[in-house]
Every structure is written in C-alpha cells, then in structure tokens.
Amino acid sequence: MTPRELVGERYDDALGMVRIVPAATREAFIAALTTPDPTSIAAPTRVLREGDPLSIDITLEAEHWDESVLWTVTDVLGNVKAGTVPLRDTPVVKFVQRGDKTVDTRRVTLPFTVASNVYRATLDVRTYGHAGIDIIAAPQRAYLPPGDMRVWGLAVQLYTLRSQRNWGIGDFGDLVRICEIAGDAGASLVGINPLHASHRSDPESASPYAPTSRRFLNWLAIDIEALPEARDPDVQHYIASVSDDVAALRAKPFVDYTGVAMVKAPALKLCFAALSGARTEGFASYVAAGGEALKRFAIHEALVARYGRNAAHWPEALRQAESEALAVFAREEPRAIDFSMYLQWCASEQLDSVASAAKAHGVALYRDLAVGVESGGSEAWGGPDYVTSASVGAPPDLLNTHGQDWGLPPLSPVTLERDAYAAFAALLANNMADAGALRIDHAMSLMRLFWIPRGGQPADGAYVSYPFDDLLAIVARESVRAHCMVIGEDLGTVPAGFRDKMAANNILSYRILLFERDGNGAFLPPDAYPELALATTGTHDLPPLAGWLEGDDIALHERLGLIDAETARQTRVSRESGVAQLRAALVASGDLRELQPDTESIVLGAYRYLARSPARIVMLQIEDALGERTPVNIPGTNLEYPNWRRKLRDDLETIATDGRLERFARAMRELRPRA
C-alpha cells in the first residue's frame, strides 16, 4: 500500500461518532511514511506462507507489459533458480496513480513453491528496471502444543514479590521460587509483566509498558547474590555493609526504585570489576552474539549517563545512531559501555536459569511484550523503524471521552517492510526466548495503530494501517521457531475481522471475565468462551477482583479526584448491579453455593467458572488468590498514585505455606488437571 492508502481519512469511534481526520494530520503522516524511491517496480519484501506459489506484484506503465521479466531466486544455501515470465497475460491486481499517469500492478507467479525459509529474488524488465526483493516464507500458523489440553497458570507482577532475601524488589531469584510454588501446585505457566529495560539513569520511570528498549532486560531484576562474581571478597564486604539498607527497602510497602538502584548499582559495578577467567570469555561470547543491537543499546545508556535523557541536549553529532562522532564517543567510554552489556549478560543468564528451573517443575514462563517504547529510549534512537514525529494512543471511547495519548512513537509500516521485518522479528525472538507463551499487548497494532501528531491531541489523530497479513506471518514464524504460544491482547476497539484472522493463525484471544457480557450486562456462560483464548479476571489496569467486588476502586478514584461524588454514586449503583449479575452467573453454573458468600468465595467461584470454559489457558492472578484489593496501576494517573510500585502484602515464604494459594490451586487442578 502507498503512504496515502495507509493513513485513514475517517474512522468510527467507540461512541458511535464518525470522525474526520484533519487534513494537516493526514499530510504530515503521509510525509513521514514517504520514502525516496516510490517508482520501484516491486515492493522490497514479499511475505508468503509455506506451500504457496512464489508470486510477486510488479507495477509498470502500460507500454512495458509486452515484455518479459527475467527472474532469479536464491535460497539461504546459495542455490539459484532462474527463468523468464511473459508479462502480457499476468492478472491485474490494482491500478496505481503516479502523478498524472495510471499504471497497472500485476501479479507475476514464478514456477516455484516456497518452503518455510527466506529467499532473495531479483526481477529485471529490460526497458524499465531492476528490483531486488526479500522473500519470507512462514508457517501457516503459530505454534500450539499438540492436543487439546486446557491448562492454567499463575500471573504475577515480578516487582511486587516480597521475599526474605531480595533487595526490596522482586528479582529473578524470586521468580525461580514462584515458578517452583506454581509448578508444585499444578500450574503449567507463570505469567509475568514485561521484563523490558528501563532507564538506568531514571529508576523512577517504573512502567513496564514504557521502556527504553523491549529487546533488552530490566537490570533491577538481577539477583545479585546469585552471580558468580558476588563471591568476590570486595562484593561480599559491600553486601554486608548495606544489609541494614536492604532490610529497610525490603520492609517498605512500595518499591523504592531509587533506593533499590542506589544499593544495587555499586554491587554490580564491583561484580563487573571481579569478572575473570572463564567468565570473561563467556561475557565476550555474549557480546559477540549480541551484535550491533546490543552495542547500540549500551552506547545509548552511556550517552544518557553523560548528557541526560533528553537527546535535544546532546551534542548534535551524537543524536543519530550512525556517525563518526558516535564512534569516537564509544572509544572514549569503553568501560561504561562494557558495564551496560555486562548487566544484560547477567540478566539474560539468570532468565535462562529461571526457565530451566521452571521447566523442572512443569512450568513455562508466559512473557509480555509491551506495545511500544519511550520516545527518548534506546530502541527509538537506534532503530530507524520509529516515527518520532507521532505518538500512539486511542481515540475517544466510553471510558476516556477525550481519547488517550500513550506518548510512545509508532513503528513505520513502510520501513518495516523495506527492512524485511528484521527489527520486528528480532523483537519477537528476544521476547519469546525462555518462554512458552508470549502476550502481545494491544495486538490490534498488527493491523492498525492510532497515531497522534507529537504535541497534538487525540482528536487530531488518525488510524494508520499496518501490513497485517505480513506481520501475522512473522509472528507465526518466530512462534514456531521458539515453540512459543502467542496471545493477542484484543481489548478495546477491535476492528471487524481481526479476531477471526488471529484465530486462523492460532493466536489466542485475551478474554477478561469482567468484560465478557451480553447486551444486558449478563456475564457470558463458560461455554461461550472460545477455545483459542486465555481467560482471566482482570488486567494490570484493573483492580484485583476482591477490590472490584467491594467497590474499593471507586472510592480510590474519587479520593484521587478522577471522578466526582455524583459519578462515584452512579458508578456504585452500576457496580452493585454488576456484582449481582456475577453472583447470579456463578450460582447458575454451580460455582457458588452460599446464600451469603464472602468475597473470597465469590473470587474462587469466578475462577472455577473460568476453569470450566473451553479456553486453552486460564490465568490465576496471584493478587486474587491472596485477597489483595489495591491495583498496581491506575490509568490516567502519574504522581497521584504509586503506579507499578505496590508490593504484595505477604512474602513468598508465607505464600508457599499458608494455604490461600493452595485453595485456589486445588480448584484449578480439579477442573484442569495437568496431563
């Protein structure tokens, strides 16, 4: 599609209104998507499914259709096939306007069937021109474990975990322990928040959904005392010296990101200084395997450490990811750059160890991929795929009548295709590593994204289309390679046909109990849930179910000034109706028998209700099992509420022994026994 075809002129919002996109918005976005070579005879990338004939769309002016095209196809082993195809009888796909001329796009099918692989094709039309095309052939569908197994898992926010050994924030050591607890209880998955890299220079930028990079890991999750270098005497001396500080951080009800960073950073620098022997060789191998992407990430961290997060304050020659000045800077800061890569090595090694330990207990990790990155982060700086003159968000809907601006720069669909989707594939591969399942946040971004001009309002925005079929094929390819299931978070305004396409590709839908209702507000019965789905009670943007049942979230929103007293009153009336409808549904299904049930019994009944459904996966939120009531995040707040900081009230040692989790696990095992 051309840039003008990619940017929508109008859209229907969730309020039923047709919104016309401002002309200035359209032209700005079209300009951002326009590349300097609009006259190529073929798109730079062609994505197919294995077993498809190799067909390529080419665009020529009418006088050239009497000619033939000379083609070659080379596979990854260097094998070459070649031939010619007459153009006269090829079918017309569409007409394209180029200036004052209308030209044909026709589909040329080569006598070649693709296997799941990558190829390089060349096309030559003697009197017109030449094109080189990357051919990607992907599996027909994403990976699913064989059989029709219905499993359950335990969902946790890693940073919320308390233990008697961590340094004030849940870490990879805690993740090993929760995987052991979940596996021994009969779970097959442990779901976690995104592990994406945050700004080391600004630990208070805590949101897992606005990282500096989605390809690399959050250094604060490193379990320092599990590192081999931590046995060094200098490290041991330091650990002993901060024991009181660590105990104080551990006791706090909220994660003190700055405090945790202040004690962890010196320890890790001492560990880096103690690196020696075979460990040095292992680190060198990791750096070599990480390639240019790892080095760029580390250079960006060094730049931020010297000049601050705002690239506008950097020397102009350092603002681009490619420059001689940048190479000079890298030579000046080798230790800082190596330390950044060392942190990633430590985190990567520990995540590998978590996955191995989890597997020994019958558990796989279920990871989460955020929809975007922070505009001043390393991924947007080092990746030409991002459009920094726009941010992504959502148009007005029933909950946000002014729309939402998430402040994250969008990927360019044009650049993604030009680069054969390499950055997108690498992003998936990084996040599928060590995982049995991956959730794609706001999966509608595979089909379209709502762009907002940087500095503008959501009302100024427009939907930009993405190569949906191509991106689904790349998801399927990486999923099969990693043996990793995929869940597409499909909440909100879901385009027509989107869920059908996802299901056809074996991508699971994301079904939330509180949203699965009919037009009268009644909760859908368990058998109405699709098989290709993950079902659970809520998300990180919703309160735990106990808090929802008791209206704690309404009181909290009123206290924070997010709603006024009258809105709070109306919401309570609506909530009482919703709670009554949930109780009625649970009674009808046989999952609630008490005449006057307590809150925990209703929560347990809700999970039994979901466990009866055909959904492949049911995720038990650890907050629900433990009776938590306060949310980890309240959308629309920043300093008003400690988002991404609330810890669980109980530590892992208590959770493993006090019986509350076991009560829920027993119900899940009964309805979803592990094979």
Q: DSSP per residue over 521-544, as a string? A: SPBPPGGGS-SSEEEES--TTS--
For residue 561, the surrounding DSSP H or E stretch is none
Q: What is the pLDDT of residues 207-260, one digit of tens each?
A: 999 999 999 999 999 999 999 999 999 999 999 999 999 999 999 999 999 999
Q: What is the pLDDT of residue 568?
A: 94
Q: Angle at Cα 311 formed by Cα 308 and Cα 314, nearest 5°?
A: 75
Query: Using alpha carbons only, how large is the chain's radius of gyration in Å?
Result: 27
Q: What is the pLDDT of residue 65?
A: 79
User: Which residues, in sequence order, are bridge partners of residue 122?
Assistant: 72, 132
Q: What is the pLDDT of residue 97?
A: 67
Q: Which CATH number is 51-138 given?
A: 2.60.40
**Pairing mode, strands 364-369 and 437-440:** parallel
Q: Of 443, 445, 450, nearest to 510 (Cα)?
A: 443
End-to-end CA distance of the chain, in Å? 47
Q: Of 272, 277, 319, nearest to 300 (Cα)?
A: 319
Q: What is the pLDDT of residue 382?
A: 66
Buried b (16+ CB within 10 A) or exposed e, 376-414: bbbbbbbbebbbeebbbbbbbeeeeeebbbbebbbbbbb
Q: What is the pLDDT of residues 402-434, one digit of tens each?
A: 788 988 999 999 999 999 999 999 999 999 999
Residue 476 phi, psi dihedral angles, 5° rounding: -60, -45
For residue 472, the surrounding DSSP H or E stretch is helix 468-482
Query: In the predicted model, is pLDDT for residue 39 greater than 70?
Result: no
Q: How far apart are CA 321 and CA 396, in angstroms?
A: 36
Q: How far apart are CA 372 and CA 548, in angstroms?
A: 28
Query: In the predicted model, is pLDDT for residue 129 greater than 70?
Result: yes
Q: What is the pTM of this model?
A: 0.94
Q: What is the pLDDT of residue 111?
A: 86
Residue 357 phi, psi dihedral angles, 5° rounding: -65, -40
What three-state secondary structure class fits 240?
helix
CB–CB of 130/124 below 8 Å? yes
Q: What is the pLDDT of residue 37?
A: 62
161-190 mean pLDDT: 98
Q: What is the pLDDT of residue 159?
A: 98
Query: In the predicted model, is pLDDT for residue 70 greater than 70?
Result: yes
Query: In the predicted model, is pLDDT for residue 38 greater than 60?
Result: no
For residue 445, the surrounding DSSP H or E stretch is none
Q: What is the pLDDT of residues 502-556, one digit of tens each?
A: 999 999 999 999 999 998 999 999 999 999 999 999 999 999 999 999 999 999 9
What three-state secondary structure class fits 301?
helix
Q: What is the pLDDT of residues 564-607, one digit of tens each?
A: 999 999 999 999 999 999 999 999 999 998 777 899 999 999 99
CB–CB of 415/467 below 8 Å? no
Q: Where are the domains of the chain?
A: 51-138
Q: What is the pLDDT of residue 90?
A: 85
DSSP 8-state class, residue 651: B
Write out the DSSP string of 1-63: --HHHHB-SEEE-TTS-EEEPPHHHHHHHHHHH--S-TT-SB-SEEEEETT-EEEEEEEE-GG
Q: What is the pLDDT of residue 455?
A: 87
366-383 mean pLDDT: 90
Q: What is the pLDDT of residue 381?
A: 87
CB–CB of 284/256 below 8 Å? no
What three-state secondary structure class fits 638?
coil
Sequence-ordered list of residues with C-beta below 8 angstroms from that of 562, at least 6 positions apart, any chain: 634, 636, 637, 640
Q: What is the overall mean pLDDT for the chain?
A: 93
329-341 mean pLDDT: 96
Tokens of 591: 């999952």
Tokens of 493: 């305004």
290-296 mean pLDDT: 94
Q: What is the pLDDT of residue 558?
A: 93
Q: What is the pLDDT of residue 32?
A: 92
What three-state secondary structure class fits 628?
coil
**Pairing mode, strands 533-536 and 508-512:** parallel
Centre a 10 Å sphere on the Cβ of residue 120 and count the other Cβ atoms it contains: 15
Q: What is the pLDDT of residue 130?
A: 81
